[in-house]
Amino acid sequence: MPDHATPLTPAALRAFAFRTLERQRSLQGALDLMGFVQADPIRAPARAQDLTLFQRVRGYRAGDLERLYPTLDAEEDMLPNYGFVTRDVQALLHPREVGETRIEREHPDLLAEVRALVRERDEVHPREVAAAVGRGRVVNAWGGQSAATTRALDALHRRGEVRVTRRAGGVRLYGPAPHLDALRELPLSTPERVRGAVHLLAALYGPLPEASLGYLVGLSRFGLPHLHGELRGAYRTAVREELTGTKVDGVRYVWPAEWDAEALPGPRGVRIVGPFDPLVWDRRRFTHLHGWTYRLEAYTPAEKREFGYYALPVFQAERAVGWANLKVEGGELRADVQFIPGVRETAALKKGVEAELNRYRTFLDLK
C-alpha cells in the first residue's frame, strides 16, 4: 500500500495511537475489537488483563473477565504472549504443532493418563488430576516447583487438546475442547492463519514502528511455532503491500490500511494505564513518541528501581507525563504519582489525576 498522503507529526501519531482506548459498551465488544488481551498474575492494584479492559469497557470492575469468562466468546491461549483470545483468533492458532516437552520426556505415559481423565469429565481441577493420577513435582518455567500433572495439563492446553473452562481462586480449571478437535479436522489454510495473525498484531498495537511489528511477529512463534517462517513471509508482504505507513522523525510506522489517521478527535483528560496495555506495550514507540524511557521494574531488585514495583504510565491528553504506583491498603487506594521533569503540575492536571483515581476506586470496589 502507498504511504499515508499527509505527513504526520509525533503529536498527531500520539493522538492516533490513543484510538486503542476507545471505550466499548460491553466486555464482549472489547474482546471482539481487540482479539487478544495479555494476562499477568501480578495484582498491583489489579491484574494486567483487568487494567487493560477497565480502560476500554464502560462500567468494568476488577475480576469481571474471570467472573464472566464461562459466558463469553473467550479462550485462554497465546498470541504473542499468554492471554485471552476470541475463538475466531484461536482458529488462527490451531492445530498447533509443538515439540516434545520436558514433562513428556520425564513422564512418558503421563499425558495420555491426564488426557483420558479430562475426557471423562466436563471439568477438572489440577488437584483432582494430581489425586487421581499422582506423580512428583518438577521445576516449572519460572524456576519454581509444580506438580507433574499440572505441567501435563499445561502441555495439553498448549497443544489444543484441552481448554481452560474457568478459574477458581486464580487456578485454571480444564475441560475437553471439541471446537479445537474440529479445527484439527478442518483447519484454516496456512496463508489465512499467518496473514490473520500479522494483521491482528498490526491492529492491536498500531500504529507502531515497522521494526516493532517484526518483533511481535517473532514473538508469535510461541503461538504458531511450526509456522514461524510463514509468519515472517506474511509480515514482509504486509509491510510492503497491505498496511499503510509513513515515516515520522525517520522512523517508519505502519497500521491497517482501512484506518483514517485524521478522523478521531484528540484525546482529553488523564488516563492511567497498565504496563501491558497496547498503548504502552511497545517501549520503542513509547520512547520515540514521548521522549522518555518507561520500564516495568517488578522483577528489578528494589534498590535499583527508578519507577517503582509496578509503575503505571500517566497520560494527560495524548502525552505520557509520568507514572503512578497504586496499591490497596486498609480498603483504601494509596497512590504515589510522579511526573517527568518539565511537566507543570497545573490545577487541570491535578484535577484530572484525582478524577482518574476515583475511577480506579470504583473499578476496585473501594470507597
The predicted pLDDT at position 117 comes to 94
Helices 10-17 and 283-290: crossing angle in degrees, nearest 10, is 140
CA atoms of 233 and 238, how far apart (whole Å): 9
- Close Cβ partners of 32 (under 8 Å, ≥ 6 residues apart): 73, 86
Residues in a beta bridge with 163: 175
Q: How far is CA 179 from the centre of its chain?
A: 23
Q: Which three cell numbers stand for residue 230?
A: 510463514
Average confidence (pLDDT) per 10 residues, the chain, 367 residues = 72 93 96 97 96 98 97 96 97 93 86 93 92 64 59 94 94 96 96 98 97 95 91 96 94 95 80 98 97 96 96 96 97 97 96 98 93
Question: pTM of the entire structure?
Answer: 0.93
Architecture field, domain 102-185: Orthogonal Bundle (1.10)
| 366/54 Cα distance (integer angstroms) | 15
Beta-bridge mates of residue 338: 323
| Residues 157 and 164 sit within 8 Å (Cβ to Cβ) | yes
**CA–CA separation, 264 and 259 (whole Å):** 10
Query: Is residue 53 within 8 Å of 23, Cβ to Cβ?
Result: no
Beta strands in 330-364 (DSSP E): 332-339
Place of cell 476507545: 22
Write down the pLDDT at residue 146: 53
231: CB partners within 8 A, 6+ apart: 194, 197, 198, 217, 220, 221, 224
- pLDDT score, position 7: 77
Instruction: Answer yes or no: are the C-beta atoms of 322 and 294 closer than 8 Å.
Output: no
| pLDDT of 266 | 74
Q: Are strands 332-339 and 319-329 parallel, antiparallel or unpaired?
A: antiparallel
Tell me the C-alpha distance between 45 and 327, whole Å: 5
Tell me if residue 70 falls in helix, strand or coil: helix
CATH 1.10.10.10 maps onto the chain at: 102-185
Rounded to 5 degrees, what angle do the CA atoms 259, 263, 269 make? 110
Instruction: Output the pLDDT for position 307.
Output: 97
Cβ-Cβ contacts under 8 Å for 221 (sequence gap 6 or more): 228, 231
Angle between helices 228-237 and 190-205 (to 10 degrees): 60
